[in-house]
Structure 1
């Protein structure tokens, strides 16, 4: 016979996971409503990729996968959730479509990296936690994301690898700033909610 307490615990865990997935998908959508920020060197940045980094670092790879999937399904259904009020199937065939797939992969990679960092240093706090979250954000939120973004530009806009790479190069400083912000926010969550698990699957 199955243990009723185990069934109840499993149901609570599933409900909590669904709540986190819906909450963080909404956070990404809210970040898309924030107007672009013009950096001093003339390059505008939006905050939605910060949401991708946070999803990966805080929820882990599995929940990150479902969160970004939920968000992209909502976009595909026509909800104007992307920065600038964009939505619909058309955004998935635009030159920037590679970045949307990159968001999905990048969030999972962030989660995988964060999980490995935290399992190697389970008592990480302060500076070590900041470094772990920053590195996870760089690897998933920049390297993985830009890989798919560049490939998307090459296919959709018929650019060479060099041309596509140069086209996105100017946005990297802004994304590095977002990596720092992500690390600070992750540390703040851990301080405010000590039971929050950063090594989750």
Structure 2
């Protein structure tokens, strides 16, 4: 059972994901998937809220998008977007936030930004790519090599986002504002 505090934190981080969608997407000419800031929110949800609350926050966000709210970068939303080429990436966000949080709860229990960076990379990048690349291949009909190698264009930006998430989470943990375990 989630406490009122937990529900508020989940809603707050779902709103953070939506707020990060306000940054305009950067289209790439060779893939139907734009560069966005929203995976930063997925990493923050996991590293700051932990597995359960982080996963619920991202799930709430995805449900709001499915309901048609234009919360994705570029003001997109709805089932059609989730079933399109970018859908696998977005649908992986609850799992990615959960995995990031689970790893953070086990391997980054202190405010060590290096460990928080590592769990952000595994949960917030590898899990998202594991959901998004096969979806992109199947839905967009791209050759698997193009889906994989095209997605490598996102790695530098995602590593920067993982670094930002790690530093932010370390700061929150040092301040003792939100304990990851509740």
TM-score by length of structure 1 reads 0.81
- Aligned counterpart for 1:75 among listed residues 57, 62, 65: 65
* 2:160 is aligned with 1:197: no
Runs of 4+ in structure 1 deviating by more than 4 angstroms, as ranges, are: none
Quote the residue 1:6 is aligned against. none
Matched, 1:147 2:130: yes
Whether the 8 Å contact between 2:45 and 2:55 is mirrored in structure 1 is: no
Greater mean alpha carbon deviation, residues 136-145 or residues 99-108: 99-108
TM normalised by structure 2 equals: 0.89
2:115 is equivalent to residue 132 of structure 1: yes
- Name 1:20's counterpart in structure 2: 9
TM-superposed CA distance for 1:159, in Å, is 2.6
* Distance change >3 Å, CA 156–CA 45, structure 1 → 2: closer
Instruction: Let me know the Cα RMSD of the aligned residues.
Output: 1.9
Q: What is the rounded CA distance, in whole Å, between the counterparts of 1:37 and 1:132 in structure 2?
A: 29
Structure 2 Cα separation of the partners of residues 97 and 19 of structure 1? 26
How many Å separate the matches in 1 of 2:136 and 2:157? 19
Distance in 2 between the 1:186 and 1:195 partners? 10
Q: Return 5+ residue gaps in structure 1 as ranges.
A: 1-9, 39-43
TM superposition shift of 1:29: 0.4
1:83-138 CA-partner distances (Å, limit 9, x unpaired): 000001111110111101221211111011101114xxx5x34xxx1011101100
Report the count of equivalent residues.
176
Distance in 1 (alpha carbons) for counterparts of 2:96 and 2:59: 12
Find the aligned partners of 1:70 and 1:148 in 2 and give their Cα distance.
18
